[in-house]
Amino acid sequence: MRDDAIRDDALAGRRASAGPHLVSPAGSGAGVTLTDVAREAGVGESTASRVLRSHGSFSSKTRASVLEAAARLGYVPNRIAGTLASTGSKLVGIIVPSLANIVFPDLLRGANSVLGKAGFQSVIGVTDYDLVGEEALIASLLSWRPAGLLVAGLEHTPRADAMLRGAGIRIIEMLDTDGAGIDMVVGFSNREAGRASARHLITRGYRRIGYVGHDLALDLRAAKRFEGFRSTLAEAGLQVAGQVIASAPSSIEAGRDGLARILSETRDLDAVYFSNDDMAIGGYFLCLSRGIGIPGELALFGHNGLEVARCAPQPLSTIRTPRVEVGEASARLISSDGPPAVVTLDFELIEGATT
Amino acid sequence: MRDDAIRDDALAGRRASAGPHLVSPAGSGAGVTLTDVAREAGVGESTASRVLRSHGSFSSKTRASVLEAAARLGYVPNRIAGTLASTGSKLVGIIVPSLANIVFPDLLRGANSVLGKAGFQSVIGVTDYDLVGEEALIASLLSWRPAGLLVAGLEHTPRADAMLRGAGIRIIEMLDTDGAGIDMVVGFSNREAGRASARHLITRGYRRIGYVGHDLALDLRAAKRFEGFRSTLAEAGLQVAGQVIASAPSSIEAGRDGLARILSETRDLDAVYFSNDDMAIGGYFLCLSRGIGIPGELALFGHNGLEVARCAPQPLSTIRTPRVEVGEASARLISSDGPPAVVTLDFELIEGATT
DNA sequence: GTGAAAGCGCTAACAT
DNA sequence: ATGTTAGCGCTTTCAC
pTM score of the predicted model: 0.92
Partners of A120 on chain B (C-beta within 8 Å) are none
Q: What is the pLDDT of residue A226?
A: 98
Instruction: Verify whether the Cβ–Cβ distance B13 to A180 is below 8 Å.
Output: yes
Are the beta carbons of A41 and A65 closer than 8 angstroms?
yes
Please indicate, yes or no, whether residues B194 and B316 belong to a single structural domain of this protein: yes
For residues A308 and A198, membership in a common domain is answered with: yes
Alpha helices in B118-251 (DSSP H): 131-142, 158-166, 190-203, 220-235
CA of A125 to C1' of D5 (A): 37
CATH code: domain of residue A62: 1.10.260
Q: Given a cut of 90, is residue A289 above it in pLDDT?
A: yes
More reliable by pLDDT, A27 or B43: B43
Task: For residue A90, give the chain B residue with the closest CA.
Answer: B144
CB spacing of B1 vs A346 below 8 angstroms: yes
Residues B303, B334: one domain? no
Contact B256 A311 (CB under 8 A): yes
Q: Which of residues 238-267 of A touch strand D (CB under 7 A)?
A: none
- Selected residue with higher pLDDT from A1 and A238: A238
- Residue B341 parent element (H or E): strand B341-344
Tell me how far apart the alpha carbons of residues A11 and A15 are, in angstroms, rounded to a whole number: 10
Structural domain span for residue B255 = 190-320
Nucleic strand D within 7 A of Cβ A315: no
Q: Please give the average per-residue pLDDT across A163-180, as a whole number.
A: 96
Residue A298 lies in a domain: yes
| Nearest CA distance, A278 vs chain B (angstrom) | 9
**B88 in contact with nucleic chain D (CB within 7 A):** no
Is the minimum CB–CB distance between A292 and chain B shorter than 8 Å? no
Q: Indicate if A235 and A311 belong to the same structural domain.
A: yes
Report the half-sphere exposure of A192 (CA within 13 A, side-chain side).
Answer: 17
- Give the one of B99, B144, B253 whose C-beta lies nearest to A311's C-beta: B253
Cβ contact, residue pair A108, B121, below 8 Å: no
Q: Rounded CA gap, A163 and A141, in Å?
A: 11
Contact between A150 and A93 under an 8 Å Cβ cutoff? The reply is: yes
Whether A19 has a pLDDT exceeding 70, the answer reads no
In a domain, B336, yes or no: yes
User: Cβ separation of B4 and A346 shorter than 8 Å?
Assistant: yes
Query: Looking at the 3D structure of chain A, how many domains does it have?
Result: 3
Q: What is the mean pLDDT of residues A53-71?
A: 95
Instruction: Mark yes or no for CB contact B21/A105 under 8 Å.
Output: no
Cα nearest neighbour of A21 on chain B = B337
What are the phi and psi torsion angles at B88 (to 5°)? -95, 145
In this structure, the answer to whether residues A149 and A219 fall within a common structural domain is no
pLDDT band at A105 (very low <50, low <70, confident <90, very high): very high
pLDDT of residue B9: 39
Note whether B194 and B225 are same-domain residues. yes
For residue range A172-208, list pLDDT tens digits in order. Answer: 999 999 999 999 999 999 999 999 999 999 999 999 9
User: Domain for residue B353, yes or no?
Assistant: no
Same domain, A47 and A118: no
Mean pLDDT value across chain A? 92
Reply yes or no: is the peptide bond before residue B77 cis, omega within 30 of 0: no
pLDDT at A23: 38
Hits for CB < 7 Å against strand D across B residues 315-354: none
Would you state the pLDDT for residue B17? 37
Instruction: Verify whether the Cβ–Cβ distance B126 to A145 is below 8 Å.
Output: no
Residue A347: predicted pLDDT? 98
Mean pLDDT of A287-297: 98
Q: Is residue B54 part of a domain?
A: yes
Nucleotide D3, nearest residue via CA and C1': B44
Lowest mean pLDDT among A19-33, A207-221, A237-251, A294-308: A19-33
Q: Is residue A257 part of a domain?
A: yes
Does residue B81 sit within a domain?
Answer: no
Contact A262, A212 (CB under 8 A): yes
Tell me the mean pLDDT in the region A292-304.
98
> What is the structure's pLDDT at B8?
40
Q: Which residues contact A191 (CB under 8 A, 6 or more apart)?
A: A178, A224, A225, A227, A228
Decide if A312 touches B, using CB distance below 8 A.
yes
End-to-end CA gap in chain A: 47
Cα A113 to chain center, whole Å? 12
Shared domain for A101 and A171, answered yes or no, is yes
Asked if residue B351 belongs to a domain, the reply is no
- Nearest to residue A246, comparing CAs of A206, A266, A276? A276
- Minimal Cα–Cα distance from A3 to chain B, Å? 7
pLDDT (0 to 100) of residue A28 = 57
Give the burial class of A313: count Cβ atoms within 10 A of its Cβ; 0-12 exposed, 13-18 middle, 19 or more buried.
Answer: middle
Instruction: State the DSSP string of A236-304.
Output: TT----EEEE-SSPP-HHHHHHHHHHHHHHSTT--EEEESSHHHHHHHHHHHHHHT--TTTT-EEE-SB
End-to-end CA distance of chain B: 46
Which B residues 143-182 touch A at CB under 8 Å?
A: 143-145, 148, 162-163, 165-171, 180-182
Together in a domain, A282 and A194:
yes
In order, the DSSP letters of B278-290 are HHHHHHHHHHHHH
Residue length of chain A: 355
Query: For each successive 10 residues of chain B (355 residues), what is the average pLDDT?
Result: 40 38 47 94 95 93 95 95 93 98 97 97 98 97 97 97 95 98 98 98 98 95 98 98 96 98 97 98 98 98 98 98 98 96 98 98
CATH number at residue B182: 3.40.50.2300
Q: What is the pLDDT of residue B5?
A: 44
On chain B, the residues whose CB falls within 8 A of the CB of A182 are 14
d(CA A211, CA A285): 17
Contact positions of strand D to protein Cβ (< 7 A): 1-13
Domain presence at residue A354 = no
What pLDDT is recorded for position A31?
85
d(CA A295, CA B145): 56
Phi/psi region, residue B304 (left: phi>0; alpha: psi -120 to 50; beta: rest), is: left
Beta-carbon neighbour count of residue A265 at 10 Å? 12
Say yes or no: A51 and A64 in one domain.
yes
Q: Are A37 and A48 in contact (CB under 8 A)?
A: yes
Same domain for B184 and B160? yes
B83 and chain A in contact, CB less than 8 A: yes
Q: State whether B7 and B50 are in the same domain.
A: yes
The answer to whether A215 touches A244, Cβ cutoff 8 Å, is no
CA distance B175 to A37: 37
Give the pLDDT of residue A79: 97
